Structure 1
Amino acid sequence: MACNDFLTLLHLAPRSRAGADAGGVLPHYRGVLVHDSLSLYAGYGSCTHQLCGAHLIRELTAAEEDFPHQKWHRQIRWALTGLNTQALRVRSGEIAEITPEALLLALLLHLNAFHHGIAVGLSQHPRATGRKQSPARNLLERLRDQAQAVLRFADAPRHVPFTNNCGERALRPVKTQLKISGCHQSADGATAWLTVRSYLDSARKHGLSAFEAIHRAFTGNLWMPPIEQVA
């Protein structure tokens, strides 16, 4: 699936790079892709990346449960949530922008805590022999090596969200359908259902109720998003 604040696209495909390409959006995307660090997304080099903060917070919380006497996970989590608080203030218009000049103390405090927490965590979880590493080590290396993608939301708070909650909300009805009714009986039926879900969720983002969107579709007045297409 792919979505933003105005459109939602759900499609049926394998959980793979080819499946993601089949939607026809990601191969040509040039903006910021907010995702959960699944390895297939790394192959999209024409866009920039933001790793979902909600997923990182969950991983840090899991690390705290595994290593309750260590402090690096709490420190990194505090830093990320603090930076997100400042980003939300910018987005709401409370402050104009996040800059070292305007929020020097808060920024330096949280950024230093973020990088220091990673350094401490890496010292407490050294690399093991071989390719397979512990979940804590993998998380810390991702935070270190992809720090720019982790913190992009703080660099551009007006345009880059901290999480991919937009996509999670769009997928929730699909998961609910699977839990209640089970899988679809055919690929054609699943594809049709996802097409309808894409239409309804896109209409909702433009202020239309599901009833109004369906009524317009069946009465010859199909709603289409008023968004100019860019070549």
Structure 2
Amino acid sequence: MTGAEVSTGWVASLLPEAAGLAADSVDLIRALLVMGHILHADETTTRIGSVRHWLHVACTEFLTLLHLAPRSRAGANAGGVLPHYRGVLVHDSLSLYAGYTHCTHQLCGAHLIRELTAAGEDFPTQRRHQQIRWALAGLNTQAARVRAGKTAEIAPEALLLHLEAFHRGITVGLSEHPRAPGRKQSPARNLLERLRDQAHSILRSADAPRHVPFTNNSGERALRPVKTQLKISGCHQSEHGATAWLTVRSYPDSARKHGLSAFEAIHRAFTGNLWIPPIEQPA
């Protein structure tokens, strides 16, 4: 702002102070996420020194909460949101999320479509992976029309067409990839069994197209800037610094989703006018 040069160490020294100043806002963000109807969860890697660690995010279209913890259910619990959440949790197929039985689930359709595309490339003479992918993509297109106000609901004949293609594709695909002896199965078999066993969690967005998203894009978008900044700035040097940095990022990212710039949000924190998320979140 003034043209004066400041050292990296001085900027780093402000992180714990900024995290402390933003704590009340972040605590409310955490509570509001617990009470939300839709929640996105995701995780990615970071480094502290030479050691790999995991970043977790719980977010909505209007709030973001990041924290550092192991890639486990205990690590996801450490954010203080998932153990208490009772709405619809949108996530990839990572097994740790399946343990949250007090909420309902929506598996990310974009992840599944990528897996089906890869399986179709591995077995080009088999058409069932392409059929299932077509069914999921078609249901997403129909749901998008509902959200855009072009139609009041997914037409029953379109819903039936895509659901039949989805379930029949799984049934035939399983017959083409029979179970092998023992617990370990082929990736194609594992994918088809997951589609069969978790069909309701995959198709939930078709049941409630106005409210339940087909993908976990919100969770991935929340992590992307964090990964980009790490590539530019390098790794963290301590868990304490990384934890403070993620707290600070949670605060302005949530404020940004409500129309404030990151600079304005941080300025308000340091000048005694902390931004607080509204209790009544936008629909």
Asked if TM exceeds 0.5, the reply is: yes
Distance in 2 (alpha carbons) for counterparts of 1:227 and 1:95: 31
Number of aligned residue pairs: give it.
225
Distance in 1 (alpha carbons) for counterparts of 2:245 and 2:124: 45
Letter of the structure 2 residue corresponding to residue 49 of structure 1: H
Distance in 1 (alpha carbons) for counterparts of 2:233 and 2:113: 32
Alignment of 1:1-231 (within 5 A): 1-98=57-154, 103-228=155-280
Q: Alignment identity in percent?
A: 85
Letter of the structure 2 residue corresponding to residue 3 of structure 1: C
Residues 34-55 of structure 1: CA deviation (Å, up to 9, x unaligned): 1111111111010001111011
SS of aligned partner of 1:34: strand
Higher strand residue share:
2
Letter of the structure 2 residue corresponding to residue 60 of structure 1: L
SS of aligned partner of 1:226: coil
Task: Flag structure 2 segments of 5+ consecutive residues without an equivalent.
Answer: 1-56
Letter of the structure 2 residue corresponding to residue 24 of structure 1: G
Residues 85-109 of structure 1: CA deviation (Å, up to 9, x unaligned): 11111111111123xxxx1221111
Distance in 2 (alpha carbons) for counterparts of 1:161 and 1:80: 13
Task: Flag structure 1 segments of 5+ consecutive residues without an equivalent.
Answer: none
Distance in 1 (alpha carbons) for counterparts of 2:259 and 2:175: 51
Residues 170-223 of structure 1: CA deviation (Å, up to 9, x unaligned): 001121133233320000110111011111111111111112212222222111
Letter of the structure 2 residue corresponding to residue 125 of structure 1: H
Q: What is the CA-CA distance between 1:228 and the residue it aligns to?
A: 4.6
SS of aligned partner of 1:136: helix
Give RMSD over aligned pairs: 1.2
Residues 61-89 of structure 1: CA deviation (Å, up to 9, x unaligned): 11011111111111111100110111111
- TM-score of the two chains, using structure 1 as the length reference: 0.94
Larger Rg: 2
